[in-house]
Structure 1
Amino acid sequence: MKLTTYDKYPEVSVKGYEHQAWQGWQAIVTALNTRRSAAAKTVLVIDCYPGVRLSELEHQLLPALNASVLVNVESARQDEQALHTLLARNLTDDRVFGVLSCHQLSEFFDADRLAALRQQVADAAEGLVVVYGPGASLVHPGDVLVYADLPRWEIQQRMRSGELGNWGVENQHEDILRRYKRAFFIEWRVFDRHKTPLLKRTHFLLDTTLADAPSMVSGEALRAGLKETSHRPFRVVPFFDPGVWGGQWMKQRFDLDPSKPNYAWCFDCVPEENSLLMRFGDVRIEIPSLDLVLLHPQELLGEKVHARFGAEFPIRFDFLDTMGGQNLSFQVHPLTEYIQQQFGMHYTQDESYYILDAEPDAVVYLGTKTGTDPAAMIDDLHQAARGEKDFDDRRFVNQIPARKHDHFLIPAGTVHCSGSGTMVLEISATPYIFTFKLWDWGRLGLDGLPRPVHLTHGEQVIDWQRDTQWVHQHLVNRIEPLGEGDGWQEERTGLHEREFIETRRHWFSGPVTHHTQGGVNVLNLVEGAEALVESPSGAFAPFTVHYAETFIIPASVGEYRITPVGNSIGQRFATVKAWVRG
């Protein structure tokens, strides 16, 4: 299978700030020292996202600063039992699902001990006073403020390796799903609220993603880079992950590590999880792409989308690879009222499967067969969950042939999964964690443990009206021609009216003009080797995309043009575009 030119490390190059970024601890220390006040006393605050290696700061950075006073804010943090009491309602007993937290970071600290640290800083007469750790700015705003950041995906890697537990607890060896749950529902929510105002005023951003290979950029340069990114096409950094059902298509097409058994997922546009790479001269900075959403939601999302979703990126593109693999878990997503009432999330995971490639006998499981007795199917699922039998999928579930460029719509409440032999571009709403597995084909996870099944949740949200006739009428290849011109054709491909995402496919052999219409656009080049994204007015530099790459067009861009690159005679290109309906 021929490799593509898929770019696994896309960057945004930021001009004019080449001398405001530094690589390595020595250069970082020199840069920080230049900001020390001429006054007798300077307070340097290094606030951190949870997951930053404080031991690395303590061994590599702090000794070189020659501080007269060092204050670790974590000495004022509540103890483990107090945190558990505070968070019990949000943690729940479930292995996977919690309740979204509305806590403020100050609640995680003992007020008296925090006051004592503030007094310690105030009492320091002269020299450099360094306050560091997650929440350090609660002690002092900082004469010089550094924010140490890293992407959620790197946090997950540290969790998986056993290096990292949750913030404030020694649970490195706890079930990874429970650690991820605590981070997803609580820690990341609390710290995103805390860091947003800090990013708007920080003097420096410290990139701690790579161990012992730090980078730092000035706050001025960081904010200039984020502002530029919010006005031009860009890609986030994809990450690939093996899974028990994973396939071989991405490994072969994207030139991935051949030693891995498979690759199941690729998250190619999930700003909550993905990184954003920005280059300042010779220095590359890796930050959470969510930082862009938090600081520039209106330019990125558009006024209407921002008003509706706040600083959240509501569209997700990812890949599900079962080519040479196995079926996904048979699953269902919660209805809107269920996700609101049970988990505190205000919208649910509606989605769709766009088929990038498929083996000849591939199928998608979608909806229940006409005449299915709900009680009989639920009883069969419970028997399967107890290990008494295999779920009788052929009796209860539609199996629909899947071909390249088919599009299957999956509004919440519809039972579904991709069968083996498919390469799926999944287009969905963002809260991807809310998947209720109903049956996992009797498999163990890669960790050797049974994969969690959520029948208690799932049986309460299945829409039994979505039977064979309804599915074929409403969810399978709802392709509607909308217009055509010289070298292009536009089609509406979905999604269902219950879903807030609209999708369009453009076939083209020459330039096609698009417009964001005031809302963020997310696209993938689903056919063709390479295309060029340009501004008719020259508002941004030409941007190259390759086959299967997902790219984001901020709402602020307005009009843009996509043109095939190379010899396109006799060749059709295609993009799939998604945006939030008005």
Structure 2
Amino acid sequence: MTTTTKPTKNYNQSPTVRIKECEDQAWQGYDRIAQALQSRISSLSASKSVLVIECYPSVRQDEIIQALESRLEPALVIRAEEAALPGEQIKQEIRKYLTDDRVFGFMSPSKIEEFYDIDRLRQLKDQANAVDNGIVVIIGFGASLVSEGDVLVYADLARWEIQQRYRSKEFGNWRLDNHEEEILRKYKGGFFFEWRMADRLKRRLFDKIDYYLDTNAKDDPKMVTYEALMSGLRQTASQPFRLVPYFDPGVWGGTWLEEHIDLPRQEKPYAWGFDGVPEENSLYFQYGSIRLELPSINLVFFQSRELLGDRVLARFGAEFPIRFDLLDTIGGGNLSLQVHPTTDYIKQTFGMTYTQDESYYILDSKPGALVYLGVKEDTDAERMWGDLERAQAGEISFPAERYINAYEAKKHEHFLIPAGTIHCSATDCMVLEISATPYIFTFKLWDWDQVGLDGKPRPVHLEHGSKVMQWDRRTEWVENELMNRAETVTEGTGWREERTGLHELQFIETRRHWFSEPVTHEANGSVHMLNLVEGEEAVVESPDGQFDPFVVRYAETFIVPASVQRYTVRPSGPSAGQTIATIKAFVRA
């Protein structure tokens, strides 16, 4: 079923959750934040107060100190990280987790206490205790190790903002003087080590905080009380919502994102659109006139059951296992020819408990667009791998057409890609990638003689790829198991539900609904992630009034928490009376 609806450029780039309570518990700017903190400290009626500001790595601590010194006039400011181990010592201790690879490491189980000197911590505590009057400010990643404090502030920021600070060389990794190091290695340090350690501390500390500080925007902080933050998280976990999207250039980037989402022009074309990756994206909470930005992973951590559902939480823990993102090669180049690790390999090699099974849903394409998927029936594995090695050595360009199946990619087709299957989206595809979350684990096998935006060859991982490549994923199996799997599940007046995948080897189920009338969705124990893949606009509604009507537009990804037991979706606005479509992903029972 197709339509002639032509989507317009009304994609919402700043989706916001308007919090219905606690407007008087939010402050913006250092003047008002300092006034709120001073009021709280004064209410303690003590001659001395300890203000602890626990920071996520890459928070601009100097900015906070300078702002509060001039406004609160503290008797003493203690930088907690003066008690941390030297960077080079930390680097040696975590070497086994970070490895020498440019991209991959092993998920570190480290806790922050391992990287602080006990004697030095005691000295800082003694300094704080020696003050008899006034305010003592203790700040840093690990500030809460020095003192529990009388007032505890948690200073946070989004992962995407951290990456921007890495890229601009404003920040290196925690305790390391590696500002000039390439972004791949700095990102690896964050992903495998410091973010894991920081998240463990955040989860342990969170119900003890008094205030939450948003430090994403330079010199423009926002702060809310713990009660206001939790009110926002509870509300969000009880209604449909969207994450704050971001878009990034790439060597193979195309023109579709810029044209359809009305993004600003830039020198390098957009390749990725991320609006469904809770570990990377953020949320906007609106408290009256103040908009707070927070990492969306906080919702996963602190509203796990309501968001994920008991069954998903029991299986994955406090992790969001589904990811939607956009890959734009229209007018651009090919993605790398690649393969993802099998579950056993990713567990043994990288410490992950599940792997990056994925799929390509073709949101749009041009005539002649291709998807490479699986090897041809007559492919000689040894010969093909020899050519990959020769290509990596620069001796030849890898003849992909000789070994790899190439299929025409048409709008609304869904290609399934269980781990271990060689694949690639070629030029002129607009892909909605639906996959499991461990998205960093891509083994590039051939990069079509391309180099990265930095002018350097992108990492190729033939050794890893050789250990996970499933050579039985050949033409007949691919065409029977991974393509054209759409089948009608059920239908009613004005709607039809189809199962489009994923493969039985994958834990994600996808359902496409074509509808011109309202269609009902049941939670069935799992969080849902959806995208409006056809039509200009739809509205999500609650049959029992649990949440306000929620409008979504073409190509927007949205999440419906498991706590929403039932909801309806219908065409609205310019799409009213037309046939439109959503694709929905959830965790199989």
TM-score band (shorter)? over 0.9
Residue 96 to residue 485, structure 1, CA distance change in 2 (3 Å): same
State the alpha-carbon separation in 2 of the partners of residues 421 and 119 from structure 1: 64
CA distance in 2, matches of 1:493, 1:254: 26
| Aligned 1:437-456 pairs, distance under 5 A | 437-456=444-463
Aligned counterpart, 1:11: 16
Query: Residues 357-436 of structure 1 correspond to what in structure 2 (within 5 A)?
Result: 357-436=364-443
For 1:247-268, what per-residue CA distance to the aligned partner results, in whole angstroms no more than 9, with x for missing partners? 0001010010113431100111
Q: CA deviation at 1:2?
A: 6.3
Contiguous gaps of at least 5 residues in structure 2: 1-5
Could you tell me how far 1:570 is from its partner in structure 2?
6.4
Once the two structures are TM-superposed, the CA of residue 567 in structure 1 deviates from its matched residue by 5.4
Q: Classify 1:214/1:409 alpha carbon distance in 2 versus 1 (closer, same or farther; 3 Å).
A: same
Question: 2:27 maps to what in 1?
Answer: 22
Bigger shift: 361-370 or 35-44? 35-44
* Offset at residue 207 of structure 1 (A): 0.6
Are 2:493 and 1:511 aligned? no
1:33 to 30, 34, 38: 38
The answer to whether the Cα contact below 8 Å between 2:536 and 2:574 also exists between their aligned partners in 1 is no
Once the 2 structures are TM-superposed, how far is the Cα of residue 62 of structure 1 from its aligned partner? 3.0
Deviation at 1:569, TM superposition (A): 6.8
The answer on 1:276 being equivalent to 2:283 is yes
Paired residue type of 1:7: N
Change in Cα spacing, 1:367 to 1:200, as seen in structure 2 (3 Å) is: same
Q: Is the deviation greater in 563-572 or in 456-465? A: 563-572
* Aligned residue-pair number: 582
- The answer to whether the 8 Å contact 1:97/1:181 transfers is yes
Q: Report whether the alignment pairs 1:526 with 2:525.
A: no
Letter in 1 for 2:35: T
User: Secondary structure of the residue that 1:497 maps to in structure 2?
Assistant: coil
Instruction: Tell me how far apart the structure 2 counterparts of residues 46 and 569 of structure 1 sit (CA, whole Å).
Output: 51
3-state SS in 1 of match to 2:314: helix
Contact persistence 2:210–2:225 (CA under 8 A): yes
Q: Distance in 2 between matches of 1:568 and 1:192?
A: 42
Per-residue CA deviation, residues 480-536 of structure 1 (Å, 9 max, x unaligned), is 111110100000000001100000000000100001112100000001111110110
Q: CA deviation at 1:324?
A: 0.6
Which secondary structure state, in structure 2, belongs to the residue aligned with residue 200 of structure 1? helix
Displacement after TM superposition at 1:274 (Å): 0.2
Q: Scaled by the length of structure 2, what TM-score is found?
A: 0.98
Change over 3 Å in CA distance of 1:569–1:523 after alignment to 2: closer
Shift of 1:175: 1.6
Give the deviation of 1:154 after TM superposition. 0.3
Secondary structure of the corresponding residue to residue 563 of structure 2: helix
Indicate the percent of aligned positions where both proteins have the same amino acid. Answer: 57
- State how far apart, in whole Å, the 2-side matches of 1:18 and 1:482 are: 45
Q: Deviations over 1:62-118 (max 9, x none)?
A: 332111121110100100221012101001011100000001111111111012112
Correspondence 1:185 to 2:169: no
Query: Using the alignment, how far apart are the partners of 1:274 and 1:142 within structure 2?
Result: 31
> Equivalent of 2:99, from 92, 103, 120?
92
Within the alignment, does 1:252 sit opposite 2:268 as a pair? no
In the alignment, is the contact (CA less than 8 A) between 1:270 and 1:316 conserved in 2? yes
In 1, Cα distance between equivalents of 2:55 and 2:221: 14
1:206 alignment partner, SS class: strand
CA offsets per residue over residues 277-334 of structure 1, 9 Å max, x none?
A: 0000000000000011010111100001001111110000000000010110000000
Take 1:244 and 1:65, find their aligned partners in 2: how far apart are those partners?
48
* 2:306 aligned with 1:299: yes
Q: Secondary structure at the match of 2:188?
A: helix
Residue 573 (str. 1) matches residue 580 (str. 2): yes
Matching of residue 495 in structure 1 with residue 470 in structure 2:
no
Query: Among residues 522, 540, 558, which one is paired with 1:551 in the alignment?
Result: 558
Paired residue secondary structure (1:94): coil
What is the match of residue 223 of structure 1?
230
Structure 1 position 46 matched with structure 2 position 46: no
Q: Distance in 1 between matches of 2:66 and 2:48?
A: 23
Distance 2:387 2:575 in 1: 53
Q: How do 1:17-166 and structure 2 match up within 5 A?
A: 17-36=22-41, 37-166=44-173
Mean Cα deviation higher: 562-571 or 207-216: 562-571
Provide the residue aligned with 2:339 in structure 1: 332
Please point out which of 519, 539, 543 is paired with 1:536.
543
Provide the TM-score with structure 1 as the length reference. 0.99
Q: Which amino acid aligns with 1:55?
A: D
Q: By how many angstroms is 1:60 displaced?
A: 1.8
CA deviation after TM superposition for structure 1 residue 132, in Å: 0.4
Q: Which amino acid aligns with 1:263?
A: Y
Match of 1:432, SS? coil
In the alignment, the residues of structure 1 paired with residue 273 and residue 68 of structure 2 have an alpha-carbon distance, to the nearest angstrom, of: 35
The separation in 2 between residues aligned to 1:110 and 1:178, in whole angstroms, is 26
**Counterpart for residue 267 of structure 1:** 274
Q: Distance in 2 between matches of 1:355 and 1:304?
A: 30
Distance 1:568 1:46, change over 3 A: closer
Does the CA-based 8 Å contact 1:70-1:130 persist in structure 2?
A: yes
Q: Aligned letter for 1:21?
A: A
Larger deviation: 55-64 or 403-412? 55-64
Counterparts of 1:175 and 1:482, CA distance in 2:
49
Q: 1:569 to 1:28 in 2, by over 3 A?
A: closer
Q: Deviations for 1:536-563, whole angstroms, at most 9, x for unmatched residues?
A: 0001111110011000000001100101
C-alpha distance in 1 between matches for 2:501 and 2:149: 50
C-alpha separation in 2, matches of 1:229 and 1:200: 18
Contact 1:4/1:529 (<8 A) preserved: no
Unpaired segments ≥5 residues, structure 1? none
Provide the secondary structure at the position in 2 that maps to 1:55: helix
Question: Which position in structure 1 is the counterpart of 2:3?
Answer: none
Match of 1:188, SS?
A: helix
CA contact (8 A) 2:536 2:575 kept: no
Between 422-431 and 252-261, the greater mean CA deviation after superposition: 252-261
8 Å Cα contact 2:571-2:577 kept in structure 1: no
The one of 213, 219, 241 aligned to 1:206: 213
The amino acid that maps onto 2:515 is F
For the residue of structure 1 that corresponds to 2:238, the secondary structure is coil
Q: Give, as a single letter, the amino acid of the residue that structure 1 aligns with 2:248.
A: D
Supply the distance in 2 between the matched residues of 1:362 and 1:110 (Cα, whole angstroms). Answer: 58
Q: What are the superposed Cα offsets for residues 118-169 of structure 1, whole Å, 9 maximum, x if unpaired?
A: 2222232221111101110111112111000000100000101111100000
- CA contact 1:200–1:223 (8 Å) conserved in 2: no
SS in 2 for 1:575: strand
- The letter for the 2-side match of 1:27 is R
CA distance in 1, matches of 2:575, 2:263: 28
Contact 2:284–2:291 under 8 Å retained in 1: yes
Instruction: Give me the whole-angstrom Cα distance separating, in 1, the residues matched to 2:554 and 2:422.
Output: 30
Distance 1:236 1:387, change over 3 A: same
Structure 1 residue 201, shift from structure 2 partner: 2.5
State the distance in 2 between where 1:202 and 1:242 align: 38
212-221 or 331-340, which deviates more: 212-221
Matched, 1:351 2:372: no
